[in-house]
Amino acid sequence: MFRIPRLYFLLIVAIILVGCAKRGTITGGDKDTIAPILTSSIPKNFSVNFSGKEVKLYFDEYIKLKDINKQLIVSPPMNTPPDISPNGASRYISIKIKDTLKPNSTYSFNFGQSIQDNNEGNPYQQFKYVFSTGSYIDSLSVEGTLKDALEQKVDNFVTVMLYEKNEKYTDSTVYKEKPRYVTNTLDSLKTWKIENIKAGKYVLVALKDFNNNFKFDPKKDKIGFLKQEITVPSEEKYELQLFQEKTISKILKPSQASGNRAFVGYEGDAKNIKIVLKNGNDALPSIVTKVDKKDSVQVWFNKIKVDSLKMEITKDDFKKDFYFKMKDQKKDTLAFTASNNGVIGFRDIFSINAATPIVKFDNTKISVVDKDKKAVVFSTEYDAFNQKLNFKFKKEEEQKYAVRLLPGAMTDFFDKQNDTLNYKFSTKSNADYGNMTLTLEKAKRFPIIVELTDEKGKVLVSEYAESAPIVRFEGLEPNKYYLRIIYDDNKNREWDPGKFLEKQQAEEVIYFPKIIDVRANWDVDQPFVLGD
């Protein structure tokens, strides 16, 4: 009988045991990365002479709809949105049309990224279903880009619209009527394209349409537009710059805030607002100031025992009279807070905020001294709207300063005066800061506002160049800065948005293409080419 040597026998057993111990892992195959495919539709895509009320789209696998209300773009827009179903997994989509369709018009349904396969969520990118109620499909298109007139980042989900320039069109149409054709940039696009349009003359408008009603609401919406009409067909690419108009769009009813003060809320811009306070027909002495960090102003008046007061408010073309009830309340008292009471930067301005409006100053009762008790030459400037007294003086490095206001240095609207006020602060070394010299090359015009901002667009430092192309920033906090210039065409030292009805575009803004790194004890020489 044949015998297996003991050593070989043990080796065979070991191999068998190892093989039995191994377990395979079921992977399920490669991950599905293929988007759904349209297999058929009723009626067919790009059908003509359409007169039905329902469309069905069939796919090669189970699909689901995601964010259909945000992603679906129907052009021309319908007064009654179509009913899209089903909501769950399905191999088809039903489009039930609830609106009366325009004759001889091409309709497109752009689903964006809303159609996805049910398992992995792979989107059917920018799928479009198109039909015409006439005998042919309109095939012309218009395209371009979007930018924000002030900020570096443009909004998403911006609606771009075409209005037919005919005898019915007026500038007020944008406020009241839906456009002829629309598209939307959806999640992240800075480019846009309106397709399936017919030849003609159009007004081109873009909206950040917060109400999603295809109508311009100046209270909320940003708008971009071309001054001139466009003619289709056109091979030109159009750039639209979005801005929000600066306007008082709403004044809220005044209310009493204290025994000698009333609040007035508003929406928009309160600059140059005029308020007259009256008891019957008699105008009362009053002062209007801004409420810090709120869209409100406050009206100051001497305490008076009446049931109600009248407030006449005027702002540009807005004018309205309000009445508000008066109750017996405590009066505001005079108090002060300082902007700095520690370390102050070389570019910072020391200021004192008053709780009530200041109407008189006596600079002979105000002093600024350094650490050696040496008097420092200074000047003051009162910002009445913000109730702030600003001090201007040359700051030296590694120095300590003391500001003193003796009793009677300030008198408020109610004839109350300050007690003795003392404030102290110090400066650091020049080496703790950086400097930047900016050379504006090929500037088209002056004056120019030069701003250094953070990544969110908050202005950290600004300078005003009236004619010289060289701008010097000294004593900058070490930081990474974004640089932009504003052509200040109306010379009011601030950026102004446009006005649609006046066909006025926003003031031009140009960003430096790179982040500027300013470090401590560094001097940065930075050229900025503004034109070709």
The tens digit of pLDDT for each residue in 211-224 reads: 999 999 988 999 99
What does pLDDT average to over the chain? Answer: 92
First CA to last CA across the chain, in angstroms? Answer: 101
Superfamily of domain 250-325: Immunoglobulins (2.60.40.10)
Pick among 1.10.20.10, 3.40.1170.10, 3.60.150.10, 2.60.40.10: CATH of 432-529: 2.60.40.10
Q: Answer left, alpha or beta for residue 403, where phi above 0 means left and psi between -120 and 50 means alpha.
A: beta
Question: How far is the C-alpha of 250 from the C-alpha of 264, rounded, in Å?
Answer: 11
- Averaged pLDDT for residues 371-387: 96
The tens digit of pLDDT for each residue in 311-322 reads: 999 987 788 999
Q: What number does CATH give the domain 336-428?
A: 2.60.40.3710
Tell me the HSE value of 283 on the side-chain side, using a 13 A CA sphere.
Answer: 7
Domain spans, the chain: 38-132, 145-174+197-242, 250-325, 336-428, 432-529
The tens digit of pLDDT for each residue in 218-241 reads: 889 999 999 999 999 999 999 999
Burial of residue 482 (CB within 10 Å: 0-12, 13-18, 19+) is: buried
- Averaged pLDDT for residues 375-384: 96
Q: In the 8-state DSSP scheme, what is residue 112?
A: T
Question: How far is the C-alpha of 161 from the C-alpha of 182, rounded, in Å?
Answer: 4
Name which CATH class applies to 38-132. Answer: mainly beta
Question: How far is the C-alpha of 80 from the C-alpha of 524, rounded, in Å?
Answer: 59
Q: Which residues pair with 244 in a beta bridge?
A: none
Decide whether 250-325 matches 432-529 in CATH topology. Answer: yes
The tens digit of pLDDT for each residue in 512-527 reads: 999 999 999 999 999 9
Question: How far is the C-alpha of 464 from the C-alpha of 65, rounded, in Å?
Answer: 53
Question: How far is the C-alpha of 200 from the C-alpha of 169, rounded, in Å?
Answer: 14
Rounded to 5 degrees, φ, ψ at 176 are -120, -25
Dig out the tokens for 260 from the structure. Answer: 């000698």
Q: Which pTM does this prediction carry?
A: 0.84
Tell me the HSE value of 508 on the side-chain side, using a 13 A CA sphere.
Answer: 11
Helix (H, G, I), strand (E, B) or coil at 10: helix
pLDDT band at 266 (very low <50, low <70, confident <90, very high): confident
Identity of the amino acid at 346: F
Tell me the HSE value of 403 on the side-chain side, using a 13 A CA sphere.
Answer: 26
Q: In the 8-state DSSP scheme, what is residue 32?
A: P
